[in-house]
């Protein structure tokens, strides 16, 4: 059995992320969506909120589980049999960054392989950062995130975060 791990901050999960999840779930036996911390970012949602939102969004995918990790991805992957890493690529900037990370991960865990899945054209410009910025101005988020996520963003903004 091959377990794919799709790591990210998912703050918030976007329709682009969900597309990568759906496509990877069709290819691999098991997909673990791993919510990670990014010390360079101040999160809109805390890690537990992100995990719960993603669980709701992927509830209809039986081979997908959601976890969180505060350790290096190469170390997190050791708990799974035949792990591979999934990375979504929107553009050449993502490619350059993610190939560097793939080399680091391979050096830290020689068993790891990284698979790149290119974003669908309609999601190449969608990022969690852009979604957070649009949300701050009250923009309609329906083209960028699942409704349950948009509703949760609205609730958080109304409650002063």
Locate 153 and state its tokens.
Answer: 């963003």
Buried (b) or exposed (e) across 26-50, using 16+ Cβ within 10 A?
Answer: eebebbbbbbbeeeeeebbbebebb
Structure-block tokens of residue 88: 């979504």
Catalytic residue among 30, 34, 69, 128: 128
Q: Can you tell me the distance from the alpha carbon of 28 to that of 140, in angstroms, rounded to the nearest whole number?
A: 34
Q: Which member of 17, 30, 50, 87 is catalytic?
A: 17
Instruction: Kindly state the DSSP code that residue 120 receives in the 8-state scheme.
Output: P
Q: Tell me if residue 78 is catalytic.
A: no
Exactly one of 41, 55, 78, 147 is catalytic; name it. 41
Question: Within a 10 A sphere around the Cβ of 12, how many other Cβ atoms?
Answer: 27
Of the residues 23, 90, 120, 156, which is catalytic? 90
Active site residue 128: yes
Residues serving a catalytic function are 17, 41, 90, 128
């Amino acid at each position: 059995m091959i377990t794919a791990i799709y790591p990210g901050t998912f703050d918030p999960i976007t329709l682009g992320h969900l597309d990568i999840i759906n496509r990877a779930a069709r290819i691999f036996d098991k997909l673990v969506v791993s919510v990670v911390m990014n010390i360079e970012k101040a999160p809109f949602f805390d890690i537990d909120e992100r995990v719960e939102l993603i669980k709701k969004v992927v509830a209809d995918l039986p081979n997908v589980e959601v976890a969180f990790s505060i350790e290096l991805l190469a170390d997190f992957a050791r708990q799974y049999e035949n792990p591979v890493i999934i990375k979504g690529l929107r553009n050449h900037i993502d490619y350059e960054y993610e190939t560097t990370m793939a080399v680091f991960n391979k050096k830290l865990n020689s068993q790891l392989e990284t698979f790149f899945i290119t974003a669908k054209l309609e999601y190449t410009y969608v990022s969690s950062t852009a979604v957070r910025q649009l949300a701050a101005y009250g923009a309609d988020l329906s083209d960028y995130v699942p409704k349950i996520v948009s509703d949760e963003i609205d609730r958080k903004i109304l409650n002063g975060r």
